[in-house]
Amino acid sequence: MTETIAGVQIPDTSVVRDATELIRETTTPLIYNHSRRVFLFGSLQARKLGISPDPELLYVAALFHDTGLVPPYRSEEQRFELDGAGQARAFLLDHGYSEADAQTVWTAIALHTTPEVPYQMAPEIAATTAGVETDVLGLNLHNVADEIKAVTEAHPRPDFKRQILQAFTDGFAHRPDSTFGTVNADVLEHFVPGFRRTDFVEVIESSAWPE
């Protein structure tokens, strides 16, 4: 039976069912519920943007986008976004999707913490970022005001602000160098004593190039 939340249909396909089962079983309720909200808000924001992402690809991008914060997906050195992107890409290829579709989802996840750029790209990439920015940052909440209750009743967000910040901290405090040039450095600066972000100007000034 097709599930509909806030006027958004959850695709009733094998890849969606498999992604749902996998992420529910291998991550935390925080990540699972947040990821489902990202799909729902991303779908709703896409309507406002006048774009039509492929529902299955958007769903997989949303479900996998934060998996790099938690084991068994979390790695030791690279950006957490790349962990989730790689897992989603492999998942889609294993399910018979094309390289092009898998790469679109990879890009959607890899860029979901990068402001502005995703909105100039494929609908799935734009909608993933739109969903993330709605649920985490509260951006453009007015666009989904009529649907917020239905979304959060289906996937509650109790104490979400504190919990997601803790998940971010736990997800990349052990690989601080991976936050260079990203919003993730803000998290470590707030919550990890002694952390000092890598300064872009200092990198240039101290580079190996002679003057």
Report how far apart, in Å, the C-alpha atoms of 135 and of each of 36, 38, 199 are.
10, 6, 29
Q: pLDDT at position 129, please?
A: 98
> What residue type is assigned to position 35 of the chain?
S
Q: pLDDT at position 175, please?
A: 98
Find the length of the chain: 211
Question: Domain segments of the chain: what residues?
Answer: 3-157
Q: pLDDT at position 211, please?
A: 84
Q: pLDDT at position 70, please?
A: 98
Tokens of 106: 């990879």
Compute the distance between CA of residue 175 and CA of residue 3 in angstroms, rounded to an integer. 39
Q: What is the pLDDT along the chain (211 residues), one digit of tens a residue?
A: 689 999 999 999 999 999 999 999 999 999 999 999 999 999 999 999 999 999 999 999 999 999 999 999 999 999 999 999 999 999 999 999 999 999 999 999 999 999 999 999 999 999 999 999 999 999 999 999 999 999 999 999 999 999 999 999 999 999 999 999 999 999 999 999 999 999 999 999 999 999 8
> Can you name the CATH fold of 3-157?
Hypothetical protein af1432 (1.10.3210)
Burial of 205 (0-12, 13-18, 19+ CB in 10 A): exposed
Quick one: how far is CA 37 from the chain centroid? 11
Buried b (16+ CB within 10 A) or exposed e, 135-153: bbeeeeeebbeebeebbbe
Q: pLDDT at position 2, please?
A: 83
Compute the distance between CA of residue 146 and CA of residue 170 in angstroms, rounded to an integer. 34
Q: pLDDT at position 20, please?
A: 98
Quick one: how far is CA 93 from the chain centroid? 19
Task: Output the furthest CA–CA distance in the chain (Å, rounded).
Answer: 67
